[in-house]
Amino acid sequence: MSKELIYPNFLIVGTAKAATTTIYNYLEQHPEIYLPYRKEPCFFTFANKQNIKFSTGRPVQFITDFDEYTSLFKKGSHHTIRGEASTPYLYFYEETISNIKKYIPDYQNIKILIALRNPVERAYSQYMMKVRDLVEDKSFENALVLEGKRMEENAHFDFFYKDRGLYYQQVKAYLDTFKDVKIIFFEEIKSDIEGVLNEITSFLDLSEQEYSAIHRQNISGISKYKFLTHFLKTKSWIKSLGGIFFPKKLKKRIHNYLMVKNVEKVDLLDKETKESLKEFYKEDLKKLEGLLGKNLSQWYT
């Protein structure tokens, strides 16, 4: 079998907290699409990097070896579309695009899907995700003040709440590099998921598909029971279910169900902080408007 057959030809590159997990889980239903069980392999950002460590956050498990990465797609060699989703690909666009060019011979033909969200809401949702996971103990306002220091101290990039929402250069780099790039918006996913899925199916040149509704994925909030969050985040509990009796997809559904049930949605975003962030993003969003030809004023006014 030609090695070319195991390359991905479709990437969901982010942004984080813009329903990429939801889109991923819906697209898994399409018989012509192969998506590996593992979301967020992050290979093209961290290819060949050894001993990746951050000063904050949980230990990371990125795939950095090319053979291990391509092995994710072996079972999908006969599918029209083979893809994966890694949200750091958008934020770390320089490293990611460089590695895509290095490892994929026909990289120009890879189809790129970018999901965007109001950057203020995205920043706060990412913050609440870290609160949910019991790794963020600062207030949102204090975390924003500390962001520059955390970046200097090599904190995990999931703590870069504000910086990751500067979309213009991120999106422009992909539009400048690849022939087929589709932008979808979080608000549209929430209001018309069926329409968005039909657009993606068409973008991928696939036959129409009737998608079954799925429950919300990867929601942010406050953990109702911290001991349960600790338990669910260890990963070892999944192995205890037994691979023989519980298929991977079923274990993932159980995990997602328990995570969602253990989260209480809260809104602690201060009005003054919200207005300050709107002003911070305004110039970048205006440039993004020009790039995409889309009115985004609702995000900064």
Query: What is the 3-class SS of the chain, one letter each residue?
Result: CCHHHHCCCEEECCCCCCCHHHHHHHHCCCCCEECCCCCCCCHHHHCCCCCCCCCCCCCCCCCCCHHHHHHCCHHHCCCCEEEEECCHHHHCHHHHHHHHHHHCCCHHHCEEEEEECCHHHHHHHHHHHHHHCCCCCCCHHHHHHHHHHHHHCCCCHHHCCCHHHCHHHHHHHHHHHCCEEEEEEHHHHHHCHHHHHHHHHHHCCCCCCCCCCCCCCCCCCEECCHHHHHHHHCCHHHHHCCCCCCCHHHHHHHHHHHHHHCEECCCCCCHHHHHHHHHHHHHHHHHHHHHHCCCCHHHCC
CATH 3.60.15.10 fits 3-221+265-299, yes or no: no
Mean pLDDT, contiguous 10-residue spans, the chain (301 residues): 68 96 95 94 96 81 94 92 97 98 94 98 94 91 97 96 98 97 96 97 96 75 56 55 56 60 69 97 98 97 93
Say what the pLDDT of residue 2 is.
42
Positive or negative torsion for Cα 207, 210, 214, 220:
positive
Say what the pLDDT of residue 3 is.
46
Cβ neighbours of 64 (radius 10 Å): 18
**Phi-psi region at 205: left, alpha or beta (left = phi > 0; alpha = psi -120 to 50):** left
Say what the pLDDT of residue 137 is.
92
For residues 268, 138, 126, 214, the Cα torsion angle rounded to the nearest 10 degrees is: -70
Distance CA 173, CA 112 (A): 12
Say what the pLDDT of residue 50 is.
87
């590099």: which residue's tokens?
177
Adjacent-strand bridge partners of 114: 183
């011979």: which residue's tokens?
105
Say what the pLDDT of residue 261 is.
58
Positive or negative torsion for Cα 186, 34, 205, 43:
positive
> Is the bond preceding 20 in cis, omega lying within 30 degrees of 0?
no
Say what the pLDDT of residue 1 is.
36
Q: Single out the residue of 227, 204, 219 nearest to residue 261, CA to CA.
A: 219
Classify residue 152 by burial, with Cβ atoms within 10 Å: 0-12, 13-18, 19+: exposed
Q: What is the pTM assigned to this prediction?
A: 0.86
Q: Single out the residue of 241, 240, 235 nearest to residue 59, CA to CA.
A: 235
Q: Where do you find CATH 3.40.50.300 in the chain?
A: 3-221+265-299
Distance CA 7, CA 102 (A): 13
Distance CA 202, CA 282 (A): 32
